Structure 1
Amino acid sequence: MPLVRVHESNTGNDKNHLNSFSAVALIIVACLMLMIIMENIITFSTWGRYSTLVLLLLLLASPLGIAIKAESEDSIKQTEETSSIESNPLLDNSCRTTSSKIISAEENPLDYEELPTSANSEVKVTSDYNILPFEEEDMNLLQAMRTVNFWLLFLAMVCGMGSGLATINNMSQLGQSLGYTSLEITSFVSLWSIWNFLGRFGAGYLSDYFLHTRGWARPLLIAVTLATMTTGHIIIASGFSGNLYVGSILVGICYGSQWSLMPTITSEIFGVRHMGTIFNTIAIASPVGSYIFSVRVIGYIYDKEASGYTCFGTRCFMLSFFVMAAVACFGCLVGTALFFRTRRFYQLVVLRKLQYSSRQGG
């Protein structure tokens, strides 16, 4: 924490630097994925293991170079701007005028921005903006819990996060019952973290893209991921050869996507002042759902089907994952309901704020 400090910067290269961090993360993930897959095919020699270790250490250290480069470029730009102002006093007056305009825009941003348009319709400036209660932009936990949107989001997360966490909790027993080797089961668990990361990374990018270009509210992505997770549960329940490879990819990506979408949706619907409290309250859906599906569904059916302490065959988990597929499908309907309830709110409030902030930053 002593190394963390606030660094205010409005340079146009901020996005480029953030994209560089993202690129490094994706490269590291690609290397790890390749290594995990190769370990199932060949046996690495000692020098091969040391080589991959050095490569990963270099990749992990590379973000430091990006940060140093960004700091250097920012310092150079600030020095050039200071020199320009000192050499030409007229620029100083111009900057002051621009600053006063920005302050006026911040006081009433709606006067400076047009309402966004979607792909199929155009939202016109009307008094509908005022029909949304002000409290929705700055709710505390109790106020949020009195809304239907809170419980729709919570219920969708119970269906999605709960069933996804129950899947990873039982991945070892699931692999054993279907005849997978210990190395393959270990690979499933390792790859799950990669799918989880890709889901968090990709869902954030896609939700931003569709929100800015199409005006689609983020809860639509919640519904899409739950529908995809339904397919993943059905694939795992089917028990065909290699089903865990496909099923774990779908469920893992969708599970990570929900962890990316839920905090963002929480902040946009209920505001940022009490976002931490509201977000962590909704996050309780994950352990609650995991207990229900891991203990009351998967554990109960596994014990019923097992002879002794072990169970082999598709019968051990088939019914459990069909149940979780049905629950995820129900969660998809809940997410769809949340999408329709918040669609106009996103068009009238959220998207306007995002567009205004992005233009101010540019």
Structure 2
Amino acid sequence: MLALLPSILSLLLMYFVQVYHDPNRSDDKRHLNSFSIISVITAAYLMLVIIGENIFTMGLSGRIFSFTLLLILLISPLTIVTRTQPSESSKILFDERKSLIEEETLSKDQEIQVPSPKGESLNLLQSMKTLDFWLLFIAMSCGMGSGLATVNNMSQIGSSLGYSTMATSTLVSLWSIWNFLGRFGSGYISDYMLHTRGWARPLFIALTLGTMSIGHLVISSALPGSLHIGSVLVGVCYGSQWALMPSITSELFGLVHFGTIFNSIAIASPVGSYIFSVRVVGYIYDREASESGMCIGRSCFMLSFLIMASVTLGGSFISFALFLRTRRFYKEVVCAQIQASTAL
């Protein structure tokens, strides 16, 4: 039933979604920052609760208190929504300015010159004929595939290295928080660097894949605490891929067919997961396991993570090649569009 809850909520609430034009666009960033702060606070609170449950024994009253505080944090974004509702006077002012804004937008759009064919919106077949599409697809296969292989085998990795069941369960729970921090942090940083310095987003995919390679190497070392440190690095970098890939897809191939192209590139995740989880990690684990099917020791996963470290490092080089191919496009087209939109 819990698995159906997200889909049911989406179907129930989709009729309340509407396009809303804020007459005071200067407040948009402030409201977005408020949502972001609440999200980070909620993630930090969940992390403290998960770690605290493994250190201290919480009674019934403590669990009720922590759950109530979590509900308050989850409901708190509604206070921002209620404060952002426009007043009647602002609606009248917006109606008076609407025609003027549309005229200014049209004139500024006419001034923008698109110096590259990448500035056009491509369909799926046109996108698949470009080298950029396949560079991004292969890079995502390396990053998302190895990340999923890591979290899917976290329990077996912990058991083979002597971690308790509680410790491995905690790592799996904390993975979602590292994942969130990666999505949030990479999105914020890449936006900031793109707006201020014109850095192309593929550069950040190259950096995160390089860092993920280090995380795989740390796990393969099987040193004390290596699984904790490695899972943090891999989890953050895995989440970063899911924040950067949609933005890069929309910027390189346009928004007209964004849904189709995005989901086509997202196929890289299950493809990579199958290759690494089944053909690499699963195969090597079965080869090293005893007749009882159990494997204990560093040899169970060391070679697997060395292979994934090498592959993600190769994906980093592929992403850097995509960065070199698109950095001029980002400076001449994407940054020009950003400057034009912020000037409105």
- Is 1:321 aligned to residue 334 of structure 2? no
Identity %: 56
- Is 1:302 aligned to residue 315 of structure 2? no
Partner Cα distance (1:191, 1:279) in 2: 27
Partner Cα distance (1:285, 1:44) in 2: 42
Structure 1 residue 102, shift from structure 2 partner: 3.6
Structure 1 residue 97, shift from structure 2 partner: 5.8
Instruction: Give the TM-score of the pair, scaled to structure 2.
Output: 0.92
Q: Residue 211 and residue 279 in structure 1: after superposition, are their counterparts in 2 closer, same or farther (change >3 A)?
A: same
- Is 1:35 aligned to residue 41 of structure 2? no
CA contact (8 A) 2:23 2:90 kept: no
CA contact (8 A) 2:112 2:336 kept: no
Structure 1 residue 69, shift from structure 2 partner: 0.9
CA contact (8 A) 2:23 2:93 kept: no
Describe the superposition over 1:258-292 as per-residue Cα deviations: whole angstroms up to 9, x where unpaired: 00000000000000000110110000000000000
1:17 equivalent among 13, 18, 31: 31
Give the corresponding residue for 1:205: 188
Give the corresponding residue for 1:163: 146
1:176 equivalent among 159, 164, 177: 159
Structure 1 counterpart of 2:55, which letter?
A: I
Partner Cα distance (2:74, 2:309) in 1: 38
Dislocated runs of 4+, deviation >3 Å: 79-82, 94-102
Partner Cα distance (2:190, 2:223) in 1: 33
Name the SS for the 2:293 alignment partner.
Answer: coil
Instruction: Give the TM-score of the pair, scaled to structure 1.
Output: 0.87
1:337 equivalent among 294, 298, 321: 321
2:112 equivalent among 88, 109, 112: 109
Structure 1 residue 109, shift from structure 2 partner: 3.2
Partner Cα distance (1:35, 1:214) in 2: 38
Partner Cα distance (2:323, 2:296) in 1: 41
CA contact (8 A) 1:171 1:185 kept: yes
Partner Cα distance (2:327, 2:23) in 1: 31
Structure 2 counterpart of 1:254, which letter?
A: C
Cα RMSD of the aligned pairs, angstroms, is: 1.7
Structure 1 counterpart of 2:212, which letter?
A: M
Partner Cα distance (1:354, 1:184) in 2: 46
Partner Cα distance (1:255, 1:97) in 2: 44
2:66 equivalent among 52, 62, 72: 52
CA contact (8 A) 1:220 1:335 kept: yes
Q: Residue 32 and residue 101 in structure 1: after superposition, are their counterparts in 2 closer, same or farther (change >3 A)?
A: closer
Partner Cα distance (2:192, 2:142) in 1: 25
Name the SS for the 1:253 alignment partner.
Answer: helix
Give the corresponding residue for 1:122: none
Partner Cα distance (1:319, 1:96) in 2: 64
- Is 1:254 aligned to residue 256 of structure 2? no
Gaps of 5+ in 2: 1-13
CA contact (8 A) 1:36 1:187 kept: yes
Task: Give the total of aligned pairs.
Answer: 329
2:21 equivalent among 8, 15, 28: 8
Name the SS for the 2:18 alignment partner.
Answer: coil
Name the SS for the 2:199 alignment partner.
Answer: coil
Q: Residue 38 and residue 319 in structure 1: after superposition, are their counterparts in 2 closer, same or farther (change >3 A)?
A: same
Structure 1 residue 5, shift from structure 2 partner: 1.6
CA contact (8 A) 2:119 2:333 kept: no
Structure 2 counterpart of 1:340, which letter?
A: L
Give the corresponding residue for 1:269: 252
Give the corresponding residue for 1:347: 331
Describe the superposition over 1:112-168 as per-residue Cα deviations: whole angstroms up to 9, x where unpaired: xxxxxxxxxxxxxxxxx53x22x6521000000000000000000011000001000
Give the corresponding residue for 2:40: 26
Name the SS for the 2:20 alignment partner.
Answer: coil
Partner Cα distance (1:95, 1:260) in 2: 33
- Is 1:187 aligned to residue 170 of structure 2? yes
Describe the superposition over 1:182-229 as per-residue Cα deviations: whole angstroms up to 9, x where unpaired: 111111001000000000000000101111111110000000000000
CA contact (8 A) 1:138 1:270 kept: yes
- Is 1:150 aligned to residue 150 of structure 2? no
- Is 1:75 aligned to residue 87 of structure 2? yes
Partner Cα distance (1:355, 1:335) in 2: 26
Name the SS for the 1:264 alignment partner.
Answer: helix
Gaps of 5+ in 1: 86-91, 111-128
Structure 2 counterpart of 1:23, which letter?
A: I
